[in-house]
Structure 1
Amino acid sequence: MKKRKGHMTTTSASQPNHPWLVLIGLALGVTVTNGFARFAYGLLLPAMKSEMGWNYAQAGWLNTANAIGYIVGAVATMILIHRASPSRLFAFGLLATTLSLLATGLYAALWWQTLWRVLAGVFGAMSFSTAGALTAQLFRDDPKRNALAIAILFGSGGGFGIVLAGAALPLMLGTFGYGSWPFGWVMIGATSLLFLPLGLWAARQLHAPRQADSKAPPLPIRRILPELAGYAGFGLGYIVYLTFLSAWMTEQSASAGFIALVWVILGLCISASPIVWRPILARYASGLPLAMILTGIAIGSALPVILPNGPALLISAVVFGLSVFMAPGAVTNFSRQNLPPESWGTAISFFTVVFAVAQTIGPYAAGWVGDLSGNIGTSLLVAAGILLIGAAFALLQKPLEQ
């Protein structure tokens, strides 16, 4: 496969002295902004729903509120990336997300929870979307290692957070009762504080150019519509599983230990997913990687409902985990392979906006379907169908002209 020569030139910024340590710092940022800020709520949802007397739509609302904040953060990043470096945006977003997580556990009122879920979304999107642009600067002369770095960022970063939260939160709730859920948020925020120094250091090691520093061509929106549509399907569908999995397992009378086991396996598989997907991400500049990933997420989402037993749940966690966090890696790699370096930040931010708008609909709509049908498992099946539609769109994406 040929590469556009103009698109694969390096920027003037030098490589950091310790690129793998920089990658670890950036990945720990994703642990905070995605593994904790986005997905730990799914583990605490059964307790919060029970303690507050919420229905599924109300429980889904807090993740929708987080997704609304994510839209604001993604749009703000698209604007600010013309005025501030990705490094500064990443660092500010990481610090502010950490403080938002700590604040979430300080007061139980719904308005307070909504406020900090929104702010965690705003700042998390800012850090998450710039993390991809920063990581794309690593190993610029080695496409295979570059693809591995991008895959590790999104896979291992988020997966590590889910392993930690999955191992601790269900057992904490099982031991101390559902009333202990505020302490769960404090634990998450405190852990984020531990990761903060390395993440801030990593951001200072990379100097990706501001969009204003270069004369990047406008994004070819019409030519990347299939990839955008596939990524929108990802946003609509993936969040249902991660929001309501624990609630569905609780309805099936799963023990706290088994819930923890499923989430730990899920997180471990997310962390291992870069190894599985690296060759595919490095080889294809088309929408095929995203289509394959969305198909895996769909299968993982549907399995618990089609085969509602322990072994099927474990298989579901494996399949879903090996796929879910590679979707951002797929669009980041697509941008890197098809666009000039000066456009990477804007392109990834634009993909993030599309994703953010789509995922806003998912949690509340899934909760509404669950209330209407009396079974949140129905929402998991609907999400699987949406993911497969997204995969079909992604398959239509061809590489841009070489």
Structure 2
Amino acid sequence: MTELHKRPWLVLAGLALGVTVTNGFARFAYGLIVPAMQSDLGWNYAQAGWLNTANALGYIAGAVLTMVLIGRYLAASLFSFGLVTTNLALLSTGLVPDLWWQTLWRILAGFFGAMSFSTAGVLAAGLFANDPRRNALAIAIVFGTGGGLAIVVSGASLPLFLGYFGADHWPIAWIIIAAICALFSPLCLWSAAKLKRPAPKQADASAPLQLTQIWAQLAGYAGFGLGYIVFLTFLSAWMTQQAASAGFIAAVWVLLGLCICVSPFVWRPILARHASGLPLAMILTCISLGSALPVVFPGNISLLLAAIIFGLSVFMAPTAVTNFARQNLPAQSWGAAISLFTVVFAIAQTLGPYAAGLLGDLTGDIGISLLGASGLLLLGAVIALTQKPLPNRPTNPVEKPERNE
């Protein structure tokens, strides 16, 4: 028995912590720090949104490069390289306040983070290959618990830290985040080393992806990219606009992160059972509801409910498309398919933060942008619902296929 088979859950923990670094801290901690950066640096909503758009532009480039490299280099090597370089980008973000410097390192954090995030899904899909339920849970834990942990840690510390020491201490917040990521890195790199497999030979390459068969899943995932990032970018800014205290902002983010952490166990039965677009459609509907709820029904209770609904769903969208690829495509195609989904998602999410920031500046209310994002998410859900399982998809004797599809 190999060491991987002896300790698969420890290997999975390392992959999940990699997502904590490259997806949780590198992308979503910014939403907690941005009110302090706005206050200290005098930014408007468009400037604040631009930095997440810059991060998304880097994410596009990283996702495209990963799609090119995934068949030539080990997924584990790309994961490790992206992890280390993302950590360096986070550290650099706290060194210079100038907008050009912030733009540069937000781009690079997105670029390197995409390499690690895309390949984390590929590596997780290879765990428990003969057990669909455990496999679905493993993929969900990587994206859900991995990303949720960063939001719990960030939410429990950053608002209180910045509220106590002042907005001008935002550079220290980035340095603290980089230090935490450095502590996680050894286990992440160990897990990647245990999952190193020979790169696929050209002769073993699968047939090209049939985009006409998966367009609805791709379009639904694009809707996710357009909509979800607005909530995570501007939630703290909107709560600050509503005169919420630092303690309550921290509580909402901790609740959000905890719900993300447990979301894999909520969605596991649906993800394991359905090979169609139904799981993604259900997830997007819940994200849409969570994004709109605090604006339509203002108040602390509404914000707490929104954090629960949004948190239980948001990181399950990457899980849904990764699981869709695993259930419908041969193993040789997983890397290319997941990279393609990541590219589509990355392109879509570049538009969200900056457009939402502009709309917030024009209306003087960033809540309008949250409602717009909710509408885009709901549209994505409707489209994803039309995705059927692919014909001639790989079958597993343990797996129960869907009926009437």
Q: What TM-score do you get using the length of structure 1 for normalisation?
A: 0.96
Equivalent-residue separation in structure 2 for 1:192 and 1:181 (angstroms): 17
Determine if the alignment matches structure 1 residue 85 to structure 2 residue 97.
no
1:213-228 alignment runs, 5 A limit: 213=202, 214-228=204-218
Please list, as runs of the form range in 1=range in 2, the aligned pairs for 1:286-301 lying within 5 A after superposition.
Answer: 286-301=276-291
Selected match of 1:175 from 149, 164, 179:
164
User: Within 2, Cα distance between the matches of 1:35 and 1:104?
Assistant: 15
* Partner residue, 2:229: 239
3-state SS of 1:276 partner:
helix
Match of residue 401 from structure 2: none
**What does residue 269 of structure 2 align with?**
279
Deviations 1:138-195, CA, capped at 9 Å, x for gaps: 0000000000000000000000000000101000011001001000000000000000
Tell me the distance in 2 between the aligned counterparts of 1:303 and 1:374: 19
Match 1:115 to one of 104, 124, 133: 104
One-letter code of the match for 1:40?
A
CA contact (8 A) 1:209 1:342 kept: no
Q: Aligned to 2:27, what secondary structure does the other structure show? A: coil
State the partner residue of 1:8.
none
- 2:219 and 2:201 map into 1 onto residues whose CA distance is 28
2:35 equivalent in structure 1:
46
SS of residue matched to 1:107: coil
Classify the secondary structure of the residue corresponding to 1:219. Answer: coil
Shift in Å at residue 315 of structure 1?
A: 0.3
Name the counterpart of 2:131.
142
Q: Please report how far the alpha carbon of residue 209 of structure 1 lies from its aligned counterpart in structure 2 after TM superposition.
A: 5.0
CA contact (8 A) 2:4 2:11 kept: no
Give the one of 389, 394, 397 matched to 1:399: 389
Deviations 1:277-307 (A, max 9, x none): 0000000000000000000000000011011
**Who is 1:6 aligned against?**
none
Q: CA deviation at 1:108?
A: 0.7
Amino acid at match of 1:216: S
Partner of 1:4: none
- Note the residue ranges of structure 1 that are not aligned, 5 or more in a row: 1-12
Tell me the distance in 2 between the aligned counterparts of 1:108 and 1:152. 35
SS in 1 for 2:96: coil
How many corresponding residue pairs? 390
* Aligned 8 A contact 1:133 1:208 in 2: no
**Amino acid paired to 2:32:** L
Residue of 307, 317, 321 corresponding to 1:317: 307
Per-residue deviation at 1:54?
1.1
| Structure 1 position 99 matched with structure 2 position 114 | no
TM-score (norm 2): 0.95
Q: Does 1:165 align with 2:154?
A: yes
- Preserved contact between residue 236 and residue 358 of structure 1 (Cα < 8 Å): yes
CA distance in 2, matches of 1:212, 1:109: 46
- Partners of 2:268 and 2:3 lie apart in 1 by 24
**5+ long unaligned stretches in structure 2:** 393-405
User: Does the Cα contact within 8 Å between 2:292 and 2:370 map onto a contact in 1?
Assistant: yes
Asked whether the 8 Å contact 1:133–1:345 carries over to 2, the reply is: yes
* Matching residue's letter, 2:245: S
Deviation of 1:374 (Å): 1.0
Question: C-alpha separation between the residues in 2 aligned to 1:310 and 1:320?
Answer: 15
Look up the SS of the partner of 1:38 in the other structure.
helix
- Equivalent residue number for residue 9 of structure 1: none
Q: How does 1:357-396 map to 2 (within 5 A)?
A: 357-396=347-386
The CA distance in 2 between the partners of 1:130 and 1:356, in whole Å, is 15
* Distance (whole Å) between structure 1 residues aligned to residue 320 and residue 253 of structure 2: 23
- Given the alignment, which residue of 336, 347, 356 partners 2:337? 347
Asked whether the equivalents of residues 277 and 386 of structure 2 are also in contact (C-alpha less than 8 Å), the reply is yes
Cα deviation, residue 82, structure 1: 2.1
Deviations along 1:76-135, whole A, 9 cap, x unmatched? 001111221100000000000011101110111111111110000000000000000000
8 Å Cα contact 1:77-1:349 kept in structure 2: yes
Q: CA deviation at 1:15?
A: 4.9
Q: Percent identity?
A: 68
Asked whether the 8 Å contact 2:118–2:342 carries over to 1, the reply is yes
Judged with a 3 Å threshold, the aligned counterparts in structure 2 of structure 1 residues 212 and 14 are, in CA distance, closer, same or farther, namely farther
Paired residue secondary structure (2:95): coil
Q: Contact 1:16/1:206 (CA < 8 Å) preserved in 2?
A: no
Counterpart pick for 1:338 among 317, 328, 350: 328
Distance in 1, Cα, partners of 2:198 & 2:336: 11
* Distance (Å, rounded) in 2 between the aligned partners of 1:200 and 1:16: 17
1:373 positional shift:
1.1
Inter-partner Cα distance in structure 2 for 1:389 and 1:208: 39
User: Equivalents in 2 of 1:210, 1:219: separation in Å?
Assistant: 19
RMSD value, Cα: 1.1
Local SS of the residue matching 1:323: coil
Aligned counterparts of 2:196 and 2:163: Cα–Cα separation in 1? 46
Residues 208, 135 of structure 1: alpha-carbon distance in 2 compared, 3 angstrom cutoff: farther
What is residue 264 of structure 1 aligned with on the other side? 254
How many Å separate the matches in 2 of 1:72 and 1:302? 31
CA displacement, residues 242-296 of structure 1 (integer Å, 9 cap, x when unaligned): 0000000000000000000000000000000001000000000000000000000
Question: In structure 2, how many angstroms separate the alpha carbons of the residues matched to 1:275 and 1:47?
Answer: 35
3-state secondary structure, aligned to 2:248:
helix
Which residue number in structure 1 is paired with residue 23 of structure 2? Answer: 34
Q: How many Å apart are 1:211 and its aligned residue?
A: 4.5
Please name the residue that 1:10 is paired with: none
- In structure 1, what is the Cα distance between the partners aligned to 2:391 and 2:344? 23
Once residues 228 and 254 of structure 1 are traced to their aligned partners in structure 2, the CA distance between those partners, rounded to angstroms, is: 37
Q: Tell me by how many angstroms 1:357 deviates.
A: 0.1
One-letter code aligned to 2:135: N
8 Å CA contact 1:16, 1:205 repeated in 2: no
